[in-house]
Amino acid sequence: MAQLRYDPSDHHWRLYAADRNSRWHYYDMTEPTPRPGELLKEIDDDPTGIFWG
């Protein structure tokens, strides 16, 4: 699964991925962005297999 988090201090979204223990970790394969659509595309593409297995 994936989680998008918004940081109001810099107005950017960040992408997080859950591990097998349901703990959230910052997904550092993308940069924080003010456009969440970029992160949604990363989730959809899932180049590492972390989101959809």
| pTM reported for the whole predicted model | 0.91
Residue 53 pLDDT more than 90? no
Residues 6+ apart with CB under 8 A from 29: 42, 47, 48
Can you list the alpha helix ranges (DSSP code H) found in the chain? 36-45
pLDDT in tens, 21-34: 999 999 999 999 99
Q: What is the mean pLDDT of the chain?
A: 96
Residue 50 pLDDT more than 90? yes
Residue 9 pLDDT more than 90? yes
pLDDT band at 13; cut points 50, 70, 90? very high
